[in-house]
Amino acid sequence: MLITLNNRTLQLRSPMVTAHGRTTDRHIIEITAKQDGFFGYGEAAPLPSFGAETFEETQIALTEWSKNPESLPDPPVARSGAATALDYLEQSKSKTLLPPGAVAVQALIGAVEISSVERQISDAINDGYRAVKLKVAAADTASDIERIELAASLIDPQVLLRLDANGGWTKQQALTVLTCVEASRIALVEEPTSDPSDWEKIKEETGIRVGADEHLTDRHQIDRLIELGAAQTFVLKPSILGGPPATRAIASLAANNDIDIVISSFLDGPIALRTGRDLALELAPEQIHGLGTAPLFVEDLPEDVQPVNGHLHRL
C-alpha cells in the first residue's frame, strides 16, 4: 500500500469565535491510500483547542503510519484521517457505488458582532437553510441573550435554531441565558456546560434538548452520558471520532438508547465534508446535519460539498 500526504491551508472568510477560542484558518493534511490500482482518500485537520493533537503531532503520526499502514496512528485526528482513507479504499476495491442523494444541512454562525450575526443569518435564510446553529458562550451572557433573541426574530418558526456553547457556560450562566429567551424557539443546545451532570437540570428547567459533542471522543464519557441520560442528541464529528467505522459504532449505540444523531463538520476541507455527507446519507438521511461549512472559506471548495438550497448533494 502506498500512502501519500499533501498539506494545504484554507482561510476562513471571517474568524470563527467559540468558547474554545478564535479560528481564522484550517491547516489540513490530505491523505491518499493506493493499493492494486484502487484509491482511498482521507483528511486530517486538528483543532488543539477542541482537545485534539497539534498539527505537528498529526503530521508526525501520519508520516509514521505511512511507513507502516497496518497499524493506525494513535492521535485522534490522525487516526480519523487514516481510517477514512482506508474505509474509502475498501469501498473502491469492492466496487461499491454510492447512489446519488441529498441531505439537509445547517448554516453555522460564529460572529460575535450583532451586525454580522444579522447579516449571516439573513444570508442563510435567503440561501434556503432549514436550520441555523449559533455559537454562544464566547462573550458575556447579555451578548448571548441579545444574539439569540435576534436570531429567533429573523428566522421563520419552521427553521430550526440550534445553539452551541462548546461547554463554555457555567450551569447558572446557561440557565440565565436560556430562561431569558423564548425557549420554545430553540431546538437544541450543544454542550451547555463542561459537566454533563448539569445537563439534565438544564433540560428540565428550560425544556430545550441537549446535544453532546466534545464528550463523544472517549468511550467512558459516552457511557457516562448514557447513564446520566444527559443528552438527547449526539453530534458526531467523524474527523475526530475515528473516521467512518467509529462514527457508525457510536451512531449504533445512540440508536440503541433512543438518542438522535447529527453528523457534523470539524471545519473540514472537501474530503472530510464528503465523508460527513456520505455518513449522513447512510445513518440519518432525514436529519439536518452540521455540514454546511464550505461557504465559510475564502477558497471555493468543490461543487459537491457546496450547499445548494440548504442541502449537500452526492452526484
pLDDT in tens, 80-103: 999 999 999 999 999 988 999 999
Which residues of the chain have a pLDDT value below 50? none
Dihedral, 17, 119, 161, 194 alpha carbons, nearest 10: 10
CATH number of 101-314: 3.20.20.120
pLDDT of residue 109: 95
Does this model's pTM top 0.75? My answer is yes
Going across the sheet that includes 21-35, the strands are: 2-18, 21-35, 38-44
For residue 30, what are the contacts with CB-CB under 8 A and spacing of at least 6?
A: 5, 6, 7, 8, 41, 42, 43, 269, 271
User: Which of 254-276 are b and which e, b meaning 16 or more Cβ less than 10 Å from the residue's Cβ?
Assistant: beeeebbbbbbbbbbbbbbbbbb
Q: Is 180 exposed, middle or buried (0-12, 13-18, 19+ CB in 10 A)?
A: middle
The structural domains of the chain, with segments of one domain joined by +, span: 2-93, 101-314
Find the distance separating the first CA and the last CA of the chain, reported in whole Å: 28
- CB contact at 8 A, 297 and 56: no
Detail the DSSP E strand segments found in 90-246: 101-105, 107-109, 131-135, 160-164, 186-190, 210-212, 233-236
CATH number of 2-93: 3.30.390.10
For residue 105, what are the contacts with CB-CB under 8 A and spacing of at least 6?
A: 129, 131, 288, 289, 290, 291, 292, 307, 310, 311, 312
Q: Is 208 exposed, middle or buried (0-12, 13-18, 19+ CB in 10 A)?
A: buried
pLDDT of residue 48: 86
Give yes or no on whether 2-93 and 101-314 have one common fold: no
pLDDT digits (tens, 9 = 90+) for 183-192: 999 999 999 9
pLDDT digits (tens, 9 = 90+) for 240-250: 999 999 999 99
Kind plus residue range of the DSSP H or E element containing 262:
strand 260-263
Residue type (1 letter), 285: P
Distance (Å, whole) CA 143 – CA 128? 27
Q: Is 7 exposed, middle or buried (0-12, 13-18, 19+ CB in 10 A)?
A: exposed
Q: What angle do CA 190, 195, 201 make, to 5 degrees?
A: 75
Distance (Å, whole) CA 277 – CA 102? 8
Using CA atoms, how far residue 99 sits from 59, 313, 315, in Å, is 33, 11, 8
Distance (Å, whole) CA 183 – CA 207? 7
